[in-house]
Amino acid sequence: MRGKKRRPIVANFWHLIPMLLVAALVFNGCTALEEARQRREKRLLEERNASSLMLKTPKSEIDPDNITEDGLFGKSDHYTIKFAEDLQQLPAFDEIDEREEFILGALGYMESLYDAMHELFGFHPEHKIHVTLHDTFRDSRLGAFTTTQYRRGMINGRYVKSIEGISMDFPMQMYEKHGVRAHELTHAFTNIYYIPVWFSEGIAVLIQTEYAKGGLHRKYDSLKADARIDINGKNELENWGGHTENSPLTQWRYRYAYTLVAELWERYGADFYIKVFELMEADGLHQQLEDLMPTSILVYYLSEAAGEDLVPFFRKLYFNDVRQLTKADIIRYVEGLNQNRRQSNQNRRRR
């Protein structure tokens, strides 16, 4: 699936942008919220980084001419990177040479990580990723964020979303963690499919832990026994509000989502999720859904890739709203959405 083709609907879309787009929203993928961990854990993490397979020379050379003279901004094939103001005041980055050297190394590393991720998933985002490094971000040194901006609107009577840009914000303390970079880059890749929060985080922790060997979240022993249930009897994973959430359940959610995603990965093989994304890409329905993909639709794709119905598996884990769908059901649902949108637009015009 390399060299991802744009579907015709997207091609039309770009021609019609000025007329038809009604909203540009910011949707965010994540926070890799981490507690201020013990030094020991950091040391262990760095030792593993040293032997990481991702520290290869990137395929594309980083050209020093692509760094501005003040050493505040640089670009490469898939990234731009810049220093936020608060970082320029720190002794380690207050000189141009220091910043230039850092940017050169960072772009090289991030390109290498990008190559590895592209190889792993078989697809890559079409947009450049804009990285900003901070001393603190949103008053914290502990949260890294990947944000996917998207547009949505009616095109020829159909509701369509499309990606407008991808940005990443790292406090330097988080950027220095190899696992966090892998986690965030996973979001940049997989969020082009508008997947549910729990799946997005689960897969990011899976890549961070199993692939980049930089994970801080441990798996639970039992998906059944370690499930947390809300007042309606539903698995608390479904209530994950996303990046801004700071609840007593947040750490549980990361661990449980990882355990769940890892369970299916172990059961169905290393290329299981690649197949899932390929199936989504082939159908192109993810772009026509309102906001994020409902879990039932995700479970449809998981089941297709697994070759068996996974609804009973999810129902046993208290995903009570998950139901078995066919592709015809999903198409009917999308058509219903389109019809509702057309009607509400007409009503608005009449008013």
Angle between helix 197-206 and 250-268 (nearest 10): 70
Pairing of strands 158-171, 129-134: parallel
Q: If we measure between CA atoms, which residue out of 217, 221, 225 comes closest to residue 252?
A: 217
Q: Residue 307: CB partners within 8 Å, gap ≥ 6?
A: none
- Output 155 or 206, the one with its CB closest to Zn ion: 206
Q: Using the rule CB under 5 A, give the single segment among 57-65, 155-163, 197-205, 223-231 that binds Zn ion.
A: 197-205
Question: By Cβ distance, which residue is nearest to Zn ion?
Answer: 30
Least separation in angstroms between residue 314's CB and Zn ion is 21
Question: Which of helix, strand or coil describes residue 198?
Answer: helix
204 binds Zn ion (CB under 5 A): yes
212 binds Zn ion (CB under 5 A): no
30 binds Zn ion (CB under 5 A): yes
Beta bridge partners of 166: 129, 148
Least separation in angstroms between residue 103's CB and Zn ion is 24
Least separation in angstroms between residue 214's CB and Zn ion is 13
| Residue in the block written with tokens 């990947």 | 146
- Find the angle CA(240)-CA(244)-CA(247) to the nearest 5 degrees: 60
174 binds Zn ion (CB under 5 A): no
For residue 10, which amino acid is it? V
Least separation in angstroms between residue 243's CB and Zn ion is 8
Neighbours of 235 (CB within 10 A): 23
Least separation in angstroms between residue 258's CB and Zn ion is 11
- Output 148 or 235, the one with its CB closest to Zn ion: 148
Q: If we measure between CA atoms, which residue out of 273, 173, 266, 270 comes closest to residue 219?
A: 266
Supply φ then ψ for residue 297, to 5 degrees.
-70, -40
Site for Zn ion in 63-82 (CB under 5 A): none
- Output 54 or 62, the one with its CB closest to Zn ion: 54
| Residue in the block written with tokens 């999720």 | 273
Angle between helix 178-190 and 96-121 (nearest 10): 50
- Output 30 or 212, the one with its CB closest to Zn ion: 30
Q: Using the rule CB under 5 A, give the single segment among 23-31, 61-69, 87-95, 118-126 that binds Zn ion.
A: 23-31
Least separation in angstroms between residue 58's CB and Zn ion is 24
Render 130-159 in DSSP notation, one character per residue. EEEEESSBTTBSS--EEEEEEEEEEETTEE
Q: Using the rule CB under 5 A, give the single segment among 89-97, 127-135, 196-204, 258-266 that binds Zn ion.
A: 196-204
Least separation in angstroms between residue 208's CB and Zn ion is 9
Report yes or no: 170 and 144 within 8 Å, Cβ to Cβ.
yes
197 binds Zn ion (CB under 5 A): no
Least separation in angstroms between residue 187's CB and Zn ion is 6
Residues binding Zn ion: number (CB under 5 A): 4
- Output 133 or 204, the one with its CB closest to Zn ion: 204
Q: Residue 14: CB partners within 8 Å, gap ≥ 6?
A: none
Site for Zn ion in 102-141 (CB under 5 A): none
- Output 30 or 317, the one with its CB closest to Zn ion: 30
Q: Using the rule CB under 5 A, give the single segment among 64-72, 158-166, 193-201, 290-298 that binds Zn ion.
A: 193-201
Question: Which of helix, strand or coil describes residue 305?
Answer: helix
Which residues contact Zn ion by CB under 5 A?
Answer: 30, 32, 201, 204
